[in-house]
């Protein structure tokens, strides 16, 4: 049952494609606190979005199934992805992320407003370590661990093409390393400490395939941007370096638009 705490582990293991995994993921009800919050928010709405039918469910990853660059970090905001049903869509964090991907030539448009706006990502997939909007943007360690099988399976399904991962924020960094370790990559012990611009190369335990590089980046949160902790140029540099590591061609100089 999708209400059982073990549902993510069982359902993710069954998935043979990312589309199949996403279809199982959106039915998940394993974390009662998150289910209550996401659905309450979807009912009450924000005044500015009264005419919206909120998504109000777990938000799946977004991007091609053969992506070579994966971006992961806390994403489903109560009135952002929880409203629109697409990662980083409809809030300020996504505004910066997608605008930067567009400048680098990795997205078809600079602004992400709704799931049917025509946005495409090129060689990039965005996801999250926790797929439901949490109260106060703070999932518990238990909720993070319950949700981890989805990220682990996502990495496994992307393995034939995946060459780089950008982890947004310390929470995203810790969750990504844990999931990649479970997905078959050899993660150093003790685990590398998060920092903006940190790069950690990983090899697969099986010894086959190209190495994977994990990049640390401050989260694209509104607070980080307003305080200057993360500037557009800082984000652009990390994403460009990660894209190069993933074998993706980026625009230089950045496009305007």
Each residue of 39-96: pLDDT tens digit? Answer: 999 999 999 999 999 999 999 999 999 999 999 999 899 999 999 999 999 998 999 9
Q: Region 189-206: what's the mean pLDDT?
A: 94
Give yes or no for a contact between 103 and 97, defined as CB atoms under 8 angstroms apart: no
At residue 67, the pLDDT reads 98
CB 215 within 8 A of CB 241: yes
pLDDT band at 220, cuts 50/70/90?
very high
Sheet containing strand 185-186, edge to edge, reads 124-127, 69-72, 164-168, 212-217, 199-204, 185-186
pTM of the model: 0.95
pLDDT tens, residue by residue, 223-232: 999 999 999 9
Tens-place pLDDT, residues 158-180: 999 999 999 999 999 999 999 99
209 or 105, greater pLDDT:
105
* Separation of alpha carbons 216 and 166, rounded Å: 6
pLDDT number for residue 23: 97
Which segments of the chain are extended strands (E)?
69-72, 124-127, 164-168, 185-186, 199-204, 212-217
Tokens of 9: 């582990």
Tell me which residue of 202, 246, 187, 189 sits closest to 63, measured CA to CA.
Answer: 246
* Per-residue pLDDT at 184: 95
Maximum Cα interatomic distance, the chain, rounded to a whole number of Å = 53
* C-alpha torsion angle, residues 228, 231, 234, 239 (rounded to 10): 130
Query: Mean of the pLDDT values across residues 198-211?
Result: 87
Percentage, residues of the chain above pLDDT 90: 90
**E strands of 86-145, at which residues?**
124-127
User: For residue 257, what pLDDT is reported?
Assistant: 44
Instruction: State the pLDDT at residue 3.
Output: 81
Q: What is the pLDDT of residue 255?
A: 52
């Amino acid at each position: 049952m999708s209400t059982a705490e073990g549902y993510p582990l069982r359902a993710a293991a069954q998935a043979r494609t990312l589309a199949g995994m996403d279809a199982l993921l959106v039915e998940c009800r394993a974390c009662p606190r998150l289910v209550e919050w996401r659905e309450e928010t979807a009912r009450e709405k924000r005044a500015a979005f009264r005419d919206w039918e909120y998504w109000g469910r777990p938000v799946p990853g977004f991007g091609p199934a053969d992506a070579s660059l994966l971006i992961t970090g806390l994403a489903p905001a109560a009135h952002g992805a929880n409203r629109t049903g697409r990662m980083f869509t409809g809030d300020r964090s996504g505004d910066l992320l997608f605008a930067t991907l567009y400048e680098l030539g990795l997205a078809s448009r600079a602004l992400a407003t709704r799931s049917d706006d025509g946005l495409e990502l090129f060689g990039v997939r965005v996801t999250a370590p926790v797929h439901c909007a949490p109260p106060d943007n703070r999932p518990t360690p238990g909720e993070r661990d319950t949700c981890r099988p989805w990220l682990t399976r996502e990495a496994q399904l992307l393995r034939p093409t995946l060459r780089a991962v950008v982890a947004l924020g310390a929470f995203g960094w810790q969750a990504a390393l844990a999931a990649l370790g479970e997905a078959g990559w050899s993660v150093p012990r003790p685990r590398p400490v998060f920092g903006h611009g940190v790069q950690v190369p990983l090899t697969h335990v099986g010894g086959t395939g190209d190495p994977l590089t994990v990049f640390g980046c401050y989260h694209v949160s509104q607070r980080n941007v307003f305080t200057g902790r993360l500037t557009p140029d800082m984000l652009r540099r990390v994403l460009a370096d990660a894209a190069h590591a993933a074998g993706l061609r980026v625009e230089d100089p950045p496009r305007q638009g």
